[in-house]
Structure 1
Amino acid sequence: MCAISSFEFKVSIVIPVFNAEKFIERAVESALSQAETAEVILVEDGSEDDSYEVCQSLNENYERVQLYIHNGHINKGAGATRNLGIQKACFDYIAFLDADDFYLENRFKEAKKVLQSTADADGVYEAIGVHFESSSEKKIWINKKNKRLITTIEDGIDPDELFWEQSPIGSKGYTSLDGLTIKKESLKKVGVFNPSLRLHQDTELFMKLAMACNLYPGQVNKPVAMRGVHSDNRITKTRPVEDSITNYKKMLNSAYEWALANGYTKEAESLKYLIKYSRIHRTSAINYNRSLVNLKQYLKTLRETPTIALEGSFYINLLKFLLKYVWINVRK
């Protein structure tokens, strides 16, 4: 039974679990160590290993740990699994943690300050770091994936500008679910996660939140949580470029349809251009990313430039840099 005090900052931690038997206990204990954690909600997503048994043990040993499964104990994916956790949450604020990640000390210290001092704040985003389970994963992450050791927005951004400045529209970085603290009612306002997206549900959610809510920066210069990188998680997996672009385009389409349906016209226009671009471009991932940076500069002009006037110059310049990067690729 849910017992809520409106005078305290208490957080429901939602942890989706799939094939993470080695890491769940670490994640749960890091969440329970935070003074603001009112409950930890484990949603076991039909794992093929012993994750469910580990979750059962944690549920039995800790009063604040709750355990749920989908009907039939089937696998539904991270989006649907997090949605079930949100539905079951008893408290006004929600934070997320992947089962192979963990929180650092004072995870909610800055978030609590911002939320208590800023009347219109719906949520707070903060930085997360990387924890490598072995040296081989570190090599893949840095050398092959060209990833940073901290995931964050580069500097504090006004909530009204966040959609335009964060990835994938802007170039000032992106946020992670492990670093988000958000009002439960704000999540429901944007329709929570799209369960049809198997990848990039978090990116789509952040775009919707940036359009409809006021998200403020917390601790963005150093991590409040650590992402676990190991041989079994999707972060270290290499996918064909075509598959990556297809999944990305599906996410953009979902965000575009939501923006259009909810009256965010300029934001929908920017997403439309990004979708068209992903259909055209079929060169290497490196050149895709390089030319995407150029495209983002055009997207930012949508706030100031009438759509009709933009169309001609946009496609002329888009064609120019696409030809440039295709030519570079052909020469190689």
Structure 2
Amino acid sequence: MNISVIIPVYNASEFLGKAVDSALQFEEVKEILLVEDKSTDNSLEVCQKLILKDSRIQLYQHPDKGNHGAGATRNLGLEKAGCEFISFLDADDYYLPTRFDVEKEAFKEQKNEGVFGAIGVEYLSEKGRKEFQDKFKEVSLTTVNFPAEGETVLKGLLGLTSQVFGTFFHLNTLTLRKSVLVKNNLRFNENLRVHQDSDFIIKLAYHGYLKSGIIDKAIAIRGVHDHNRITKIIRYSPQYNQRQFLLWKSLHEWADSNPLPSDCKRKIYLTYKSFDLSLKTGLNKYFCIFLEVIKNPQILKTQYRFTYLNR
């Protein structure tokens, strides 16, 4: 295997060295692409020192040297990546020695276009630990509940399997063939400042053949500290609903232009509409809910129904 590791860099100077070292340990990793997104700390200087450490480490910035967000930053990494396989790593996280164990065998089968696994947690601050556990309880492993591949992955991510599939698998645990991106013109949605990874993964699960790898133990570690965005937004708050609306609006527009299975299209639409309704206000909100229930009674059975009924 030959793997390009894409690391978007924004305000992660204190963690970046460990992330890079964790990728350098693998002989399969032929290049590490640091894509710096106009950090306000000294991340750029750290990157400039790191590229002197190993010839596999490369540094890129956006042409205007500006800040464009995680989606555009990962897309620049995809544009520059030169290897047959691609993996991702957040700058405050790191790989474990088992990171690519399954890939070596799984990609011998040409039908497999992506492999994913489980990610663990390391608490880097007490405040980060408290915020993370307040939101996610005692979840120490982000993973799926059973092995899956092909269409089952897509349906699992959308909550359409008879057995609960689990959470979104983390981008840090995904390895894919670059060819699946090229032939399907897949990129991260740069209009999404958050959740562009979830958007990308669902679209990839439809366009490519994904397979679960190691799902019962971590192959990478997520660093939890004071500044993790994932812990800052209260579930079903107006800000949360707005961000979810933008995610599912992106997926709804994409699903409309692709021949997804009908149950997948329906689930995407109902979820999108639930968050759309949650953002409406006043009497107009209840009028819109009434019309939607008349048209699509199934919306009352979605897990997101209280985002608009109770607020």
TM-score w.r.t. the length of structure 2 is 0.86
In the TM superposition, what is the alpha-carbon distance from 1:323 to its structure 2 partner? Answer: 12
Report SS of the residue matched to 2:111.
coil
For the 8 Å contact 2:114–2:176, the answer to whether it is kept is yes
Q: Which of 154, 157, 181 lines up with 2:148 in the alignment?
A: 157
How far apart, CA to CA, are the structure 2 residues paired with 1:251 and 1:181? 23
Check 1:52–1:274 CA distance in 2 against 1; reply closer, same or farther (3 A cut): same
For the 8 Å contact 2:128–2:228, the answer to whether it is kept is no
Establish whether residue 58 from structure 1 lines up as the match of residue 50 from structure 2.
yes
The amino acid that maps onto 2:120 is: G
Matches within 5 A, 1:297-316: 315-316=296-297
How far apart, CA to CA, are the structure 1 residues paired with 2:304 and 2:105? 49
Q: Percent identity?
A: 36
In the TM superposition, what is the alpha-carbon distance from 1:197 to its structure 2 partner? Answer: 0.6
- Which position in structure 2 is the counterpart of 1:200? 195
Check 1:121–1:317 CA distance in 2 against 1; reply closer, same or farther (3 A cut): closer
In the TM superposition, what is the alpha-carbon distance from 1:62 to its structure 2 partner? Answer: 1.3
How far apart, CA to CA, are the structure 2 residues paired with 1:96 and 1:321? 32
| More helix, by proportion | 1
For the 8 Å contact 2:293–2:299, the answer to whether it is kept is no
In the TM superposition, what is the alpha-carbon distance from 1:261 to its structure 2 partner? Answer: 1.6
For the 8 Å contact 2:299–2:305, the answer to whether it is kept is no
Establish whether residue 242 from structure 1 lines up as the match of residue 238 from structure 2.
yes
TM-score w.r.t. the length of structure 1 is 0.81
Report SS of the residue matched to 1:13.
strand
Report SS of the residue matched to 2:51.
helix
Q: Deviations over 1:1-51 (max 9, x none)?
A: xxxxxxxx1100000000001011000000001121111000000000000
- Which position in structure 1 is the counterpart of 2:254? 258
How far apart, CA to CA, are the structure 2 residues paired with 1:325 and 1:29? 45
How far apart, CA to CA, are the structure 1 residues paired with 2:160 and 2:136? 21
Task: Work out the number of aligned pairs and report it.
Answer: 294
How far apart, CA to CA, are the structure 2 residues paired with 1:212 and 1:324? 29
How far apart, CA to CA, are the structure 1 residues paired with 2:302 and 2:270? 15
Matches within 5 A, 1:90-101: 90-101=82-93
Matches within 5 A, 1:120-159: 120-146=111-137, 148-159=139-150
How far apart, CA to CA, are the structure 1 residues paired with 2:49 and 2:67? 20
In the TM superposition, what is the alpha-carbon distance from 1:110 to its structure 2 partner? Answer: 1.0
- Which position in structure 1 is the counterpart of 2:178? 184
Q: Deviations over 1:128-160 (max 9, x none)?
A: 111110233222211344362111111112311
How far apart, CA to CA, are the structure 2 residues paired with 1:44 and 1:317? 44
How far apart, CA to CA, are the structure 2 residues paired with 1:320 and 1:91? 45
Give the CA RMSD over aligned residues: 2.7
How far apart, CA to CA, are the structure 1 residues paired with 2:301 and 2:82? 53
For the 8 Å contact 1:21–1:50, the answer to whether it is kept is yes
- Which position in structure 2 is the counterpart of 1:6? none
Q: Which runs of 5+ in 1 are unaligned?
A: 1-8, 283-310
In the TM superposition, what is the alpha-carbon distance from 1:316 to its structure 2 partner? Answer: 3.7
Check 1:60–1:101 CA distance in 2 against 1; reply closer, same or farther (3 A cut): same
In the TM superposition, what is the alpha-carbon distance from 1:236 to its structure 2 partner? Answer: 2.8
Check 1:281–1:37 CA distance in 2 against 1; reply closer, same or farther (3 A cut): same
Check 1:62–1:158 CA distance in 2 against 1; reply closer, same or farther (3 A cut): closer
- Which position in structure 1 is the counterpart of 2:288? none
Establish whether residue 108 from structure 1 lines up as the match of residue 97 from structure 2.
no
How far apart, CA to CA, are the structure 2 residues paired with 1:259 and 1:222? 33
In the TM superposition, what is the alpha-carbon distance from 1:269 to its structure 2 partner? Answer: 2.8
Matches within 5 A, 1:23-34: 23-34=15-26
For the 8 Å contact 2:158–2:267, the answer to whether it is kept is no
How far apart, CA to CA, are the structure 2 residues paired with 1:257 and 1:192? 15
- Which position in structure 2 is the counterpart of 1:295? none
Establish whether residue 276 from structure 1 lines up as the match of residue 270 from structure 2.
no
For the 8 Å contact 1:229–1:235, the answer to whether it is kept is no
For the 8 Å contact 1:46–1:74, the answer to whether it is kept is yes
In the TM superposition, what is the alpha-carbon distance from 1:274 to its structure 2 partner? Answer: 1.0
For the 8 Å contact 1:27–1:101, the answer to whether it is kept is yes
How far apart, CA to CA, are the structure 2 residues paired with 1:320 and 1:187? 35
Check 1:168–1:16 CA distance in 2 against 1; reply closer, same or farther (3 A cut): farther
How far apart, CA to CA, are the structure 2 residues paired with 1:104 and 1:31? 9
Of 228-237 and 195-204, the range deviating more from structure 2: 228-237
